[in-house]
């Protein structure tokens, strides 16, 4: 085994790799960008080396800087994690050239699977079923469109260099093809520097089922069963599980063997995942699954496989990289129970899962028996625009699928985050949804059950208001320089035994009365007693109160009549950018009437395109941005005309 390992990554995966390294007595070296100087993965390592400024292209993707850090610290091996350089053959080669072991497959295997079109062609030749489609070199719009027609709509356009669901568009009919192609190419170009695409038949009732494979340098390979990853938003996984619901032993064996065949066809060693798409319109059928791609790295969702097989895949990776044989034979691998993982993201389900950036003012991750938490952030850290907005992965293991789902839903409800929006409550709802519990999931699950999973608004209940008011009152009581007339925090003594706290709930004043009684403070609203919610409350840096309940975070500003009027006006008379980025398209002109949900502009940020929509019926007064423009957070995109209406 190696004595010293560098981890060329950040966040939860860097921390997770270090955990295993420590257990094996391997000392660890972290690398970090300027944005991560105080990050959790730096603190977790024995040594750390700065590799560049915040943008990934200048730090975590900088091969020369990472190799220099490895040389400087004298490591024998580099673990690339996932994302970043993990699937760059050139990086694996640079490691070899520097005499350092790359903890991953041989460069030739990475290359063979690196482009989706070549990988598919190779798999078809090896006798693995592939999704029907077009893989050719002719990339003209005209030809691609003709091929799409031949394949038959609906089709999926995919970037050949794609990953993370980027550069992908589903097309329903010929009329939509050209626009979709343009979008896919643009996204592919900016995310991967390669705008070539392939066309695939869009499989109906698609279920994403992937097989964990493992090879060693002695020519052996095994499969560690499958994972079901069909719960996705933006073609990206949010809930994953092992085993996949509805699999028969026969189909498991067939898929597993197909995956091993795929791995062996490219001389694979280390951890890899062979992804299949299955048509589940008639249940899972052995002749209705097709190869999609192979990810030549450790996968984000590997913990569910570890849970059900009782293995540590990072340990396997390190052993195999050190030249050892696979720790287990196929016949020694067994499935124990069921595991489900949820990815906790800083994002806003109500706003189309738009990433939410900011400081983690409060962070409490769930804990408990059979709950594993893989996280790379701590309270006080920033979720920035530079990297993936994943906060943590929460994994539950149980004897049964229902048990694991119930445990994980509970864990998500006990997750508390203030400072950014998260998908915790959304995940809790998805995990307890009857269709999920029944195993009735395909990749359209979220769309189909949108109304159940994403309520139109976060309703601030009386119980939440009462909790917030008591928090303010308690804070007041704790403050030493007690000045009951200080209206700054909205808490006022209005009589001898009754106080009030006023909050701003969407521009309207919400008043909570608090009465002193011998056994404490009692809240009431409009004269009706209210039992406060069992929830954690914190004070935000700007003075707002955040109440965290069942995975949801309610941010309540204290009522200030002047600020509220201004904010209410500002909110309705313009659209601003939610984060820094680049304006890709402007879709409206001054003088134009727009309808609610009408797209106004497209912003590219964090390597994704986000559409900005009209909030209501309105008349566009000015358009303040133009295509190609770099914008900061809060930049005005469109101003609406102030119109005389009944309400005004």
Report the distance separating Cα 143 and Cα 424, nearest Å.
Answer: 44
Catalytic: which of 297, 413, 429, 467? 297
> What are 401's two structure tokens?
């699928």
Question: What single DSSP character describes residue 229?
Answer: E
Among the listed ranges 3-11, 346-354, 433-441, 509-517, the one in contact with ligand ADP (CB under 6 A) is 3-11
Report the distance separating Cα 547 and Cα 557, nearest Å.
Answer: 11
Q: Which of residues 11, 52, 349, 355 is near ligand ADP by CB under 6 A?
A: 11
**416 binds, options ligand ADP, Mg ion, none, Cβ within 5 to 8 A by partner type:** none
Distances (CA, A) of 385 to 283, 356, 421, 511, 575: 41, 9, 14, 37, 20
# residues contacting Mg ion (CB under 5 A): 1
**Minimal CA–CA distance to 336: which of 209, 231, 229, 224?**
224
Determine, following the binding rule CB under 6 A, whether residue 129 of this chain makes contact with ligand ADP: no
CB of 328 to ligand ADP, least distance (A): 22
Question: Which residue, 212 or 415, has its beta carbon nearer to Mg ion?
Answer: 212
Determine, following the binding rule CB under 6 A, whether residue 132 of this chain makes contact with ligand ADP: no
Report the distance separating Cα 295 and Cα 392, nearest Å.
Answer: 21
Among the listed ranges 243-251, 275-283, 327-335, 461-469, the one in contact with Mg ion (CB under 5 A) is 275-283
Judge residue 18's burial from the number of C-beta atoms within 10 Å of its C-beta, 0-12 exposed, 13-18 middle, 19 or more buried. Answer: buried
Report the distance separating Cα 499 and Cα 476, nearest Å.
Answer: 11
In the complex, which residue's CB is closest to ligand ADP? Answer: 83
Report the DSSP pairing between strands 101-102 and 536-539. unpaired
**28 binds, options ligand ADP, Mg ion, none, Cβ within 5 to 8 A by partner type:** none
Determine, following the binding rule CB under 6 A, whether residue 347 of this chain makes contact with ligand ADP: no
First and final C-alpha spacing in the chain: 73
Question: What single DSSP character describes residue 281?
Answer: B
Contacts of 47 (CB under 8 A, 6+ apart): 27, 28, 29, 30, 73
3-state secondary structure of 293: strand
Q: Which H/E stretch holds residue 344?
A: strand 338-345
**443 binds, options Mg ion, ligand ADP, none, Cβ within 5 to 8 A by partner type:** ligand ADP
Report the distance separating Cα 615 and Cα 585, nearest Å.
Answer: 18
Report the distance separating Cα 565 and Cα 561, nearest Å.
Answer: 6
Question: Which residue, 75 or 131, has its beta carbon nearer to ligand ADP?
Answer: 131
Question: Which residue, 17 or 70, has its beta carbon nearer to ligand ADP?
Answer: 17
Chain centre distance of CA 523 = 38
Q: Which of residues 187, 195, 241, 275 is near ligand ADP by CB under 6 A?
A: 275
Q: Which of residues 52, 106, 206, 215 is near ligand ADP by CB under 6 A?
A: 206
Among the listed ranges 44-52, 211-219, 247-255, 271-279, the one in contact with Mg ion (CB under 5 A) is 271-279
Question: Which residue, 28 or 462, has its beta carbon nearer to ligand ADP?
Answer: 28
CB of 201 to ligand ADP, least distance (A): 6
- 103, 318 contact by CB (below 8 A): yes
Question: Which residue, 243 or 532, has its beta carbon nearer to ligand ADP?
Answer: 243
Among the listed ranges 274-282, 360-368, 393-401, 592-600, the one in contact with Mg ion (CB under 5 A) is 274-282
Question: What single DSSP character describes residue 220?
Answer: -
CB of 273 to Mg ion, least distance (A): 8
Determine, following the binding rule CB under 6 A, whether residue 243 of this chain makes contact with ligand ADP: no
Per DSSP, the residues of 383-436 read E-TTS--EEEEEEEEESSHHHHHHHHHHHHHT-EEESS--SHHHHHHHHH-HHH
The residues in 421-480 that bind ligand ADP, with binding defined as CB under 6 A, are 443
CB of 22 to Mg ion, least distance (A): 30
> What are 191's two structure tokens?
């995310």
Report the distance separating Cα 234 and Cα 447, nearest Å.
Answer: 11
Question: Which residue, 346 or 546, has its beta carbon nearer to ligand ADP?
Answer: 346
Among the listed ranges 77-85, 119-127, 465-473, 532-540, the one in contact with ligand ADP (CB under 6 A) is 77-85
**299 binds, options Mg ion, ligand ADP, none, Cβ within 5 to 8 A by partner type:** ligand ADP
Question: Which residue, 1 or 435, has its beta carbon nearer to ligand ADP?
Answer: 435
297 as an active site residue: the answer is: yes
Residues in the chain: 648
Question: Which residue, 383 or 575, has its beta carbon nearer to ligand ADP?
Answer: 383
The residues annotated with a catalytic role in the active site are 297
- Binding-site ranges for ligand ADP (CB under 6 A): 9-13, 81-84, 131, 156, 158, 162-165, 200-203, 206, 208, 232, 235-237, 275, 277, 292-293, 295, 299-301, 388, 390, 443
């Amino acid at each position: 085994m190696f004595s010293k390992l560098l981890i060329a990554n950040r966040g939860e995966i860097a921390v997770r790799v270090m955990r295993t390294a420590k257990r094996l007595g391997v000392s660890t070296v972290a690398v970090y960008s300027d944005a991560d100087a105080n990050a959790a993965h730096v603190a977790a390592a024995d040594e750390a080396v700065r590799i560049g400024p915040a943008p990934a292209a200048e730090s975590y993707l900088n091969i020369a800087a990472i190799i220099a850090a490895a040389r400087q610290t004298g490591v024998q091996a580099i673990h690339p994690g996932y994302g970043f350089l993990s699937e760059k053959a050139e990086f694996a080669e640079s490691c070899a050239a520097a005499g350092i072991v790359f903890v991953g497959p041989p460069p030739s295997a990475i290359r063979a699977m690196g482009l989706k079109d070549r990988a598919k062609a190779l798999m078809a030749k090896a006798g693995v079923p592939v999704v029907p489609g077009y893989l050719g070199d002719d990339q003209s719009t005209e030809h691609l469109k003709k091929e799409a027609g031949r394949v038959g709509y609906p089709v999926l356009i995919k970037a050949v260099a794609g990953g993370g669901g980027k550069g992908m568009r589903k097309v329903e009919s010929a009329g939509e093809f050209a626009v979709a192609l343009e979008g896919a190419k643009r996204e592919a170009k900016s995310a991967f520097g390669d705008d070539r695409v392939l066309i695939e038949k869009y499989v109906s009732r698609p279920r994403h089922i992937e097989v964990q494979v493992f090879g060693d340098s002695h020519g052996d390979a095994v499969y560690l069963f499958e994972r079901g990853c069909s719960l996705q938003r933006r073609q990206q996984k949010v809930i994953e599980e092992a085993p996949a619901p509805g699999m028969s032993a026969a189909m498991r064996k067939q898929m597993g063997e197909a995956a091993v065949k795929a791995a062996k066809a490219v001389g694979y060693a280390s951890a890899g995942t062979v992804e299949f798409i299955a048509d589940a319109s008639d249940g899972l059928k052995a002749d209705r699954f097709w190869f999609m791609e192979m990810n030549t790295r450790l996968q984000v969702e590997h913990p569910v496989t570890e849970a059900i097989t009782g293995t540590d895949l990072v340990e396997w990776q390190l052993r195999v990289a050190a030249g050892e044989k696979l720790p287990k034979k196929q016949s020694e691998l067994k499935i124990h129970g069921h595991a489900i993982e949820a990815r906790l993201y800083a994002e806003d389900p109500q706003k189309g899962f738009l990433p939410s950036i900011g400081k983690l003012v409060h962070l409490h991750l769930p804990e408990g028996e059979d709950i594993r938490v893989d996280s790379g952030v701590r309270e006080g850290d920033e979720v920035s625009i530079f990297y993936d907005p994943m906060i943590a992965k929460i994994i539950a293991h149980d004897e049964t699928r229902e048990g694991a789902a119930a445990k994980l839903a509970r864990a998500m409800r006990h997750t508390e985050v203030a400072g950014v929006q998260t998908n915790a409550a959304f995940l809790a709802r998805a995990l307890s949804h009857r269709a999920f519990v029944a195993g009735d999931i395909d990749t359209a699950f979220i769309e189909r059950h949108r109304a159940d999973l994403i309520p139109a608004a976060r309703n601030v209940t009386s119980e939440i208001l009462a909790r917030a008011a008591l928090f303010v009152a308690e804070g007041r009581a704790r403050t030493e320089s007690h000045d009951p007339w200080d209206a700054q925090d909205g808490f006022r003594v209005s009589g001898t035994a009754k106080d009030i706290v006023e909050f701003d709930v969407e521009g309207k004043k919400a008043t909570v009365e608090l009465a002193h009684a011998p056994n404490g403070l009692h809240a009431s609203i409009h004269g009706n007693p209210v039992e406060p919610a069992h929830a954690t409350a914190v004070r935000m840096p700007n003075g707002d109160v955040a109440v965290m309940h069942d995975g949801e975070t309610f941010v309540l500003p204290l009522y200030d009549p002047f600020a509220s009027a201004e904010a209410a006006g500002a909110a309705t008379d313009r659209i601003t950018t939610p984060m820094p980025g680049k304006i890709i398209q402007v879709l409206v002109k001054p003088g134009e009437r727009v309808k609610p949900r009408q797209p106004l502009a497209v912003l590219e940020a964090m390597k994704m395109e986000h559409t900005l929509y009209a909030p209501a019926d309105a008349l566009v007064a000015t358009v303040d941005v133009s295509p190609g423009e770099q914008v900061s957070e809060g930049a005005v995109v469109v101003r609406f005309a102030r119109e005389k209406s009944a309400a005004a």
